[in-house]
């Protein structure tokens, strides 16, 4: 009995010591796990956010440069306003990036130094740009030295920005690599803790066994110790499982056969498939889109061989059949012995970012196409002005001619008119046509249009209308809206060769900030909504994406110009609205037009008054100066005016016109084109002449058919090309009389 107390005392101290060691190990493991979790959830996200913000800065600065040079090329105040808007919002984006950069790398001075250099470079660019803008507004032209200075600072800025983008991209990649390393370290930490715990339990077991001989049987003591270890092991496993299941990123795992054995809550939320729906299923065959199956399988097979992949993009199927774009990091999964037993995939849902990128690209493409088609239409109108003017002059000079010659001339003039209509459609797409908006009730216009198209569509197509009882009013060019509905109805007819149904509806809707997010390009306000829906063959996703592009058509050769939908898009957009196509192959198509409703603001615009013109071309004897840089157009105008009896002199530029003005003090009227190369446009020339020679009448002309082209000279009338003798003669007499 004398030896029992010391032995029990030593035994108690040993038990207490090993229990303390075990507790310290557990607490250290929990602390490390918590730190690992914070690193996993924070670091890569902050780097991705910083990289996203920097790419937004790149996009905005590119937009600013494009708008600046667009203004210098076109002189449109709208381009200058867009440039200044971007310049105003860039500083806040710079500050947001700087904050994210400090969060991601608080001790990285070189990153902030690079960013400070970029801000200084951007400041140099905007300063030089302001000098360039001031020179352009003052002189109407810019020097090559100023342009070179702007381009040099822009190149320096973009070079610095690209370097920082590359740096941030590498930082994001390093963060993901560190993430993989952290996961492996956590596994190693758990393994070490388990080993230490087992050693401690073994020592405690030995001591307990020695004392059990005189207290209770060794089996009962051993069973209790084993049960305690099992409970602890299950607790740790449960905590790890909970961590994976509740992580912010979608996490999934597969075994060595490619079958799913992990599927956390975020993965379920993104795809719509619950964990019990996917466990044991083949990931590649069951959930990856067909075109990506081979490449995704290659990534997973490499991970099963120990070759890990990062930043791999691929789409997953959702439960409702939609696609979710995922950015994947595939990590090899090892057991405690280091054997490969599967793959863990940590992903990021980038669907919204991809959609936005496809949209920052489709919008840019449509704008470039619009600028191109507008320029082409302008050149065509100049050519058509020469053709139609000379045909009319020739017909007048020849007098009575054989019937076949008259037919030839009439056919040529008809072709010129068709060409003018074609360019008008191009300008409608490019949003450069002149519109004559009037207060128009939607229901009456739809009813009139349906009566016209009923005979055109044929008996096999049933036309149905459902009109809003409020009868919304819009301010639009009535003829263009009728033409748009006709185009949509004819497209519907062509999609239903065996007959079907066509439904045209109208309704009034109010859109707040939330609802406008559902319709691209729509501002907050009240709209008249017109839908044209058919039961035809429909369009594929790719066809819908290209539907508004000019000359794009799914019809057979010779059965469509490909300008119908592009004209509708251009007209609606120019009328401050938007248009949306919804279609699937075999399920028909639905085209929706959103136009601002003015029912409660009827006097929004004053509709233009069209004068009644005489059918006889009026002549005159006054002296007219013709200014046009196109020699054929200039010669045609001179020939026609001389035929009408006028004394005519000509100039090929604004500068030459001013020289002739000083030499000819008796000029009565100047007839000038608007867009001319050489530094002085027709608008600028008109302003100078109006100031220095106020008695001279001014008539402008343009092949752009664009009211915006003369917005700075609203007092000067515009004659659209191609014009005929009657329109030209009447316009000039209206000014001279």
Distance separating alpha carbons of residues 509 and 521, to the nearest angstrom: 16
Distance separating alpha carbons of residues 560 and 694, to the nearest angstrom: 50
Q: What is the pLDDT of residues 626-655, one digit of tens each?
A: 998 888 888 888 888 888 889 999 998 889
| Lowest mean pLDDT, pick from 292-306, 407-421, 587-601 | 407-421
Q: How far separated are the first and last CA of the chain, in Å rounded?
A: 138
- How confident is the model at residue 672, as a pLDDT? 92
What's the chain's Rg over C-alpha atoms?
A: 38
- How confident is the model at residue 591, as a pLDDT? 92
- How confident is the model at residue 390, as a pLDDT? 74
- Residue 495 makes CB contacts below 8 A (sequence gap 6+) with 534, 536, 537, 538, 588, 589
- How confident is the model at residue 611, as a pLDDT? 41
Helix (H, G, I), strand (E, B) or coil at 589: strand
Query: Which fold is adopted by the domain 438-596?
Result: Heat Shock Protein 90 (3.30.565)
At 19, list the tokens.
């229990």
Measuring CA to CA, how many Å separate 459 from each of 89, 282, 493? 57, 53, 11
Which one, of 158, 157, 154, 150, lies nearest residue 130 by Cα? 150
Q: Which helix (H) or strand (E) holds 388?
A: helix 362-398
- Domain parsing of the chain, residue ranges: 4-218, 248-357, 362-429, 438-596, 623-736
- Residue 16 makes CB contacts below 8 A (sequence gap 6+) with none
CB of 289 within 8 A of CB of 271?
A: no
Homologous superfamily in CATH for domain 248-357: PAS domain (3.30.450.20)
Q: How far is CA 303 from its chain centroid?
A: 36
- How confident is the model at residue 610, as a pLDDT? 42
Homologous superfamily in CATH for domain 623-736: Response regulator (3.40.50.2300)
pTM recorded for the entire structure: 0.47
Q: What is the pLDDT of residues 340-354, one digit of tens each?
A: 888 888 877 777 666
Q: Does residue 6 surpass a pLDDT of 60?
A: no
Helix (H, G, I), strand (E, B) or coil at 138: helix
Who has greater pLDDT, 259 or 714?
A: 259
* C-beta pairs of 5-9 under 8 Å, 24+ apart in sequence: 7/211, 8/211
CB atoms within 10 A of CB 502: 25
pLDDT band of residue 87 (cuts 50, 70, 90) is confident
């Amino acid at each position: 009995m004398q030896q029992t107390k010391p032995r029990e005392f030593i035994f108690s101290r040993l038990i207490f010591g090993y229990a303390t060691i075990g507790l310290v190990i557990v607490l250290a493991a929990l602390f490390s796990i918590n730190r690992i979790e914070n690193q996993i959830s924070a670091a890569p996200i902050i780097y991705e956010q910083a990289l996203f913000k920097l790419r937004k800065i790149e996009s905005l600065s590119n937009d600013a440069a494009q708008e600046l040079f667009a203004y210098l090329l076109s002189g449109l105040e709208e381009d200058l306003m867009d440039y200044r808007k971007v310049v105003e919002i860039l500083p806040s984006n710079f500050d947001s990036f700087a904050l994210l950069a400090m969060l991601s790398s608080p001790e990285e001075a070189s990153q902030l130094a690079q960013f400070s250099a970029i801000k200084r470079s951007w400041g140099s660019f905007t300063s030089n740009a302001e000098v360039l803008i001031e020179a352009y507004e003052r002189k109407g032209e810019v020097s090559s030295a100023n342009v070179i200075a702007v381009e040099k600072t822009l190149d320096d800025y973009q070079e610095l920005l690209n370097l920082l983008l590359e740096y941030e991209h590498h930082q994001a990649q390093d963060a993901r690599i560190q993430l993989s390393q952290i996961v492996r370290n956590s596994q190693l930490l758990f393994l070490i803790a388990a080993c230490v715990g087992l050693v401690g339990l073994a020592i405690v077991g030995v001591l307990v066994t020695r004392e059990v001989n005189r207290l209770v049987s060794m089996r009962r003591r051993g069973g209790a110790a084993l049960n305690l270890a099992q409970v602890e092991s299950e607790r740790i496993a449960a905590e790890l499982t909970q961590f994976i299941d509740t992580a912010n990123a979608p996490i999934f795992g597969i075994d060595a056969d490619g079958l799913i054995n992990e599927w956390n809550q975020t993965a379920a939320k993104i795809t719509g498939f619950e964990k019990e729906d996917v466990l044991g299923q083949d990931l590649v065959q069951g959930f990856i889109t067909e075109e990506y199956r081979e490449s995704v399988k290659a990534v997973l097979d490499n991970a099963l061989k120990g070759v890990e992949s990062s930043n791999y993009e691929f789409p997953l199927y959702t439960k409702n059949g939609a696609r979710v774009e995922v950015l994947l990091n595939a990590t090899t999964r090892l057991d405690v012995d280091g054997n490969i037993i599967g793959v863990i995939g940590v992903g990021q849902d980038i669907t919204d970012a991809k959609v936005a990128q496809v949209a920052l690209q489709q919008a840019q493409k449509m704008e470039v196409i619009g600028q191109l088609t507008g320029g082409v239409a302008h050149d065509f109108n100049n050519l058509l002005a020469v053709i139609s003017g000379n045909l009319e002059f020739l017909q007048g000079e020849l007098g009575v001619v054989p019937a076949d010659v008259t037919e030839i001339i009439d056919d040529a003039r008809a072709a010129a008119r068709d060409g003018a209509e074609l360019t008008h459609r191009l300008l409608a797409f490019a949003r450069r046509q002149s519109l004559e908006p009037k207060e128009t009730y939607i229901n009456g216009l739809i009813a009139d249009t349906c009566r016209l198209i009923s005979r055109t569509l044929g008996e096999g197509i049933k036309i149905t209308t459902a009109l809003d009882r409020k009868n919304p009013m819009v301010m639009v060019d009535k003829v263009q809206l009728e033409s748009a509905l006709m185009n949509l109805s004819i497209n519907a007819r062509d999609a239903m060769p065996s007959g079907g149904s066509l439904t045209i509806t109208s309704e009034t809707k109010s859109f707040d900030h939330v609802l406008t997010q559902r319709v691209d390009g729509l501002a907050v306000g009240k709209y008249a909504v017109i839908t044209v829906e058919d039961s035809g063959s429909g369009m594929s996703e790719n066809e819908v994406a290209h539907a508004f592009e000019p000359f794009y058509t799914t019809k057979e050769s010779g059965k469509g110009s490909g300008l119908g939908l592009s004209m509708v898009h251009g007209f609606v957009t120019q009328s401050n609205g938007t248009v949306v196509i919804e279609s699937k192959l075999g399920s028909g198509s639905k085209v929706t037009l959103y136009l601002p409703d003015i029912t409660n603001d009827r006097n929004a615009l004053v509709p233009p008054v069209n004068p009644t013109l005489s059918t006889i071309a009026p002549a005159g004897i006054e002296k007219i100066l013709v200014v046009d840089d196109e020699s054929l157009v200039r010669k045609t105008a001179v020939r026609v005016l001389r035929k009408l009896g006028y004394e005519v002199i000509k100039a090929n530029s604004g500068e030459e016109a001013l020289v002739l003005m000083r030499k000819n003090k008796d000029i009565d009227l100047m007839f000038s084109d608007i867009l001319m190369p050489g530094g002085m446009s027709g608008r600028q020339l008109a302003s100078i002449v109006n100031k220095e020679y106020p008695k001279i009448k001014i008539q402008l002309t343009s092949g752009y058919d664009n009211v915006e082209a003369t917005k700075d000279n609203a007092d000067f009338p515009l004659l659209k090309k191609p014009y005929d003798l009657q329109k030209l003669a009447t316009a000039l007499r209206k000014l001279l009389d």
